Structure 1
Amino acid sequence: MSKEPNRKLAAVMAEAGASNKGLAKRVREVAQRHGEHLGTTHVAVQRWLDGSGIQRQTAVFVAEALSAKLRRRVAPQDLGFPGAAPAPTPAVGMGYAGSLAETLSALDGLTHQRPEDGPSDEPQLPNVDVHAAVLSWLVARPEGVPTDVPAARRVGMRDVAAIWTAAGFFMQLDFQFGGGHAHKAFRHYFREDVLPLLGCSYSAKVGEALFQAATEMSQLLAWTAYDSGNHALADRYMLSTLRLTQVAGDRMMGARILANMSHQANYLGQAPRALMLARASVEGGKAGSTPRAMALFSAHEARALSTAQDHKGAARAMSEAERFFERADSADDPEWLSYMDEAELIGEFCHCFRDLGQGAEAVRFAERAVELTNPKYARTLGFCRMVLAQSQLLNGDLDAAVTTAGLAVEAGDALESARFQRYVGDFQREVSAYGTHPAVQQFSGQVRDAMNRLDDE
């Protein structure tokens, strides 16, 4: 039986202006970037055009090569290669992408991974890769959105507005229930409804707005992976999202991503990494960020310095954050920054005083944070209550600490968050020395009951 020619591949090659030899060369280069060696020649390309089969991984490399040439995302299925594997996502060492096409390919591959699939102890990106990415971002110039792409669909501001509406919906789900609750829906929407638009046709104004909206969705995926406890996956999302900010030159969003990476490193006790990322956020963001954003970035520097037990440095960074926040209403902020209010700043500071061992100040700030936090931010309120409980314990008030922690657990809305569960676990270890105390025993029972209810739900 004669084979059917692969007309889909032929059509995309014609659109890209790629010859057999040219495509073969590009495929070899893509494979090499992913640590693979392929001996693809023009003869192999002709066989594919004639309808011969192709290895699943090779099909992925062909799609990435043509994506880079066309400056839009091309999937293996678009080339007549059904059933090909998603783009490879190396376990370690995925560095700062060299092109937009590589970035989109990486993000597409990441959306095929569920946070619960990978072991929680999978290695994060090594420091050398993170340092190289930060330096690349700091010295990068805006690429400009690709407005000269031939495509059948024209993207307009209505499409961009739809993405922002979806981002707001997903962010509220994340605040209310934690990252594990909506990650599947995030991934599907981003892969099927957002990434394809980046390869369409649009004006410069629409393109800039589109990339800003796509970046917001991408950072939400990063944050929810982090909140779910898959730090390796969160790392890779954040690095790709940082690269995405380079297209439109959105320095404030890029600095936000670095601050998020610092937040994660600080949570994991990686003080040097957290401090480097926070300072890169402050330095990289100051030329194009609002005072409210700079208050956020400086607060993360204070958090990292507190973890490092640098009392003087932490006090300086907190003072800088306060000074920036005093001018917060002097500029128009992007919508994504609306959560950065007084409650958020006070909440960051109560973490600082707790980590510095300053019990009285920690209690004062944590009480204020609990008072100010909007109940719709259930997870944030849960964190503030747990920090208040730890601070009360630090201050020698066991009964108050256990009562406060009990309120946080009983609310239950934050329990989907792996980070919140970690806060509860840390507190349980801290009060374990008082294990025979009736209040501590009652709290342990509360935690067991709450986790059982979570399993039932």
Structure 2
Amino acid sequence: MKNPNKDLERWLVRSGMSRKELARRVKSAAQTWGQPHITPDATTVRRWLAGDQPRPPVPEILADVLSAHFGYRVTTYDLGLGEGPAAERSLIYSSSFAVTVEAVTDLGRADVDRRNFLAAAPFAAVAAVGPSRDWLLNTLDQQPETGPRVRLEDVTAVRNMFGEFQKMDVLQGGGSGRLILAEYMNQHVYPLLRRTHTEEVRRALCEAAAEQTYLLGWMAYDNGEHGTAQRYLIQSLRLAEESTNAALGAHVLAGMADQATLLGNPEEGRRLAQAGRAGLGNGNSPACLADLWALEARALAKLGDKTAAAHAVTQSETAFSRVRPDMEPEWATFIDPAYLHGEHANTFRDIDDPANAAEHARQSIHHARRQRRARRGAMSQAALAVSHLQRRDLEAAHSAGLRTLSLSRRVRSSRCVEAVQDLQRRMQPYGTHRLVADFNERARELVAAA
């Protein structure tokens, strides 16, 4: 016996629509979806309320119809019609601005609700091919739905929050505060995208939303939730395209490149970094260009191309020498000596150049200590420790490893934990040496908690 769908019934009552009116709106929306064969009537709606499960894409169309009616996102989950395809939908770089808004809103709601399908969402190695290509090629001019007009003051309020959330990530790690940011986006930012705007306001709003959606992806990435991170980054890239800000789109591709290389796809990481540089062109963010070269260097090092990796590091340093902080966007503030020296240290570590790795690691540690950036300090201490191991200096590696542990305990970052685990693996050739045993014992609690 079927169970009546009380959730759908509650939403229908709240809407004030009759069954016939809901059926009419679903039929009209189905035309927009390119599904003219979907022609429900009042009897069809009655069966849905009685517990019949409509076939896809009807649940998603129902969600979009009610979202448009209420002025905020209603999901298939809210309507008692299952989780819906949000994990897959958010991997798609849609040509439709309206579909993009619904995809990123679904993703944000699922993230805050901590739904199982999203927690288990895998990283898709080839998912970035289409988005990076389309970002380079597409010029879109679609308009959002009608509704109360958004003002520049609304966008300014969104921008004012960005710096605070970015500071939280830099100082405390991605695992601290991400769900607070996701809830803020769900309640205050994504609903604005569904309203009407002047062209100036629309571009500014898409830019602000792209910045913060990127930050959500970066925080998820730093917390080891790579499937969720990838989905946020793809939708951020689409919003960046809508804003017509080339530097911001290139910045998002840098994040995607970093993730691809970290997860064992350095060829894809290299390609994404190159796409970012091509799209940036002669853009006005030398910091972003420096980052893209640094991440290309990381990918080249993983691919074993030592000469090209070292050249990319030089290109990154050249680009950074042109940076004027007061001329850079706020999202680029983290691209500084602490960050870049840390990335270069990892590049030289991976091409087995311990002298250069140690020099860059020490520079990064110096700047990170002055800024009280424990995450960056921890990862650069780990790179320094590896450079000592490459020169067979276990005692120095042990000391740097202990500093890595101390700093890692101050933040919530899976990357710090992974750096500790990498050190443990690299110490294995020393067998049961007392320093190895001591490091493993001290690391036990941190690794177990992760």
TM over 0.5: yes
C-alpha displacement of 1:438: 2.1
C-alpha displacement of 1:218: 0.5
Q: Is the 8 A contact 2:375 2:408 kept in 1?
A: no
After TM superposition, the structure 1 = structure 2 runs for residues 173-322 of structure 1, keeping only pairs within 5 Å, are 173-322=168-317
Partner of 2:354: 359
* Structure 1: gaps (5+ residues): 30-37
C-alpha distance in 2 between matches for 1:262 and 1:448: 31
**CA distances 1:223-265 after superposition (whole Å, capped 9, x unpaired):** 1111121212211111111111111111111111111011011
Identity value in percent:
28
Partner of 1:113: 111
Partner of 2:3: none
C-alpha distance in 2 between matches for 1:92 and 1:107: 9
C-alpha displacement of 1:82: 4.6
Partner of 1:171: 166
C-alpha displacement of 1:134: 1.4
* Matched AA of 1:172: K
After TM superposition, the structure 1 = structure 2 runs for residues 352-431 of structure 1, keeping only pairs within 5 Å, are 352-373=347-368, 374-413=370-409, 415-431=411-427
Partner of 1:64: 64
C-alpha distance in 2 between matches for 1:272 and 1:305: 8
Q: Is the 8 A contact 1:160 1:209 kept in 2?
A: yes
**CA distances 1:318-363 after superposition (whole Å, capped 9, x unpaired):** 2221221121129711111112122222111111100110011111
Q: Is the 8 A contact 2:203 2:244 kept in 1?
A: no
Question: Which has the higher mean CA deviation after the structures are superposed, 392-401 or 349-358?
Answer: 392-401
Q: Is the 8 A contact 2:409 2:446 kept in 1?
A: no
Q: Is the 8 A contact 2:345 2:358 kept in 1?
A: yes
Q: Is the 8 A contact 1:87 1:108 kept in 2?
A: no
Matched, 1:157 2:163: no
| Alignment length (residue pairs) | 432
Partner of 2:5: none
C-alpha distance in 2 between matches for 1:171 and 1:98: 29
Q: Is the 8 A contact 1:177 1:413 kept in 2?
A: no
Q: Structure 1 residues 170, 330: closer, same or farther in 2, change over 3 A?
A: closer
Matched, 1:141 2:139: yes
Q: Is the 8 A contact 1:176 1:413 kept in 2?
A: no
Partner of 1:102: 99
Q: Is the 8 A contact 1:64 1:102 kept in 2?
A: no
C-alpha displacement of 1:98: 2.4
C-alpha distance in 1 between matches for 2:380 and 2:204: 34
What is the RMSD of the two structures over their aligned residues, measured on CA atoms? 3.4
C-alpha displacement of 1:396: 1.9
* Structure 2: gaps (5+ residues): 1-8
* Matched AA of 1:8: S
C-alpha displacement of 1:136: 0.9
C-alpha distance in 1 between matches for 2:130 and 2:293: 22
Q: TM-score if structure 2 supplies the norm length?
A: 0.85
**CA distances 1:176-204 after superposition (whole Å, capped 9, x unpaired):** 22222222212211111110011223333
Partner of 1:8: 15
Matched, 1:124 2:123: yes
C-alpha distance in 1 between matches for 2:393 and 2:410: 24
C-alpha distance in 1 between matches for 2:186 and 2:192: 10
C-alpha distance in 2 between matches for 1:100 and 1:92: 13
Find the residue that maps to 1:217 and give its secondary structure. helix
C-alpha distance in 1 between matches for 2:414 and 2:119: 11
* Matched AA of 2:260: A
Find the residue that maps to 2:41 and give its secondary structure. helix
C-alpha displacement of 1:415: 4.9
Q: Is the 8 A contact 2:291 2:340 kept in 1?
A: yes
C-alpha displacement of 1:96: 1.4
**CA distances 1:153-175 after superposition (whole Å, capped 9, x unpaired):** x4333332332232222222222
Q: Is the 8 A contact 2:147 2:195 kept in 1?
A: yes
Q: Is the 8 A contact 1:92 1:123 kept in 2?
A: no
Q: TM-score if structure 1 supplies the norm length?
A: 0.83
Q: Is the 8 A contact 2:296 2:312 kept in 1?
A: yes
C-alpha distance in 1 between matches for 2:384 and 2:124: 33
* Matched AA of 2:41: A
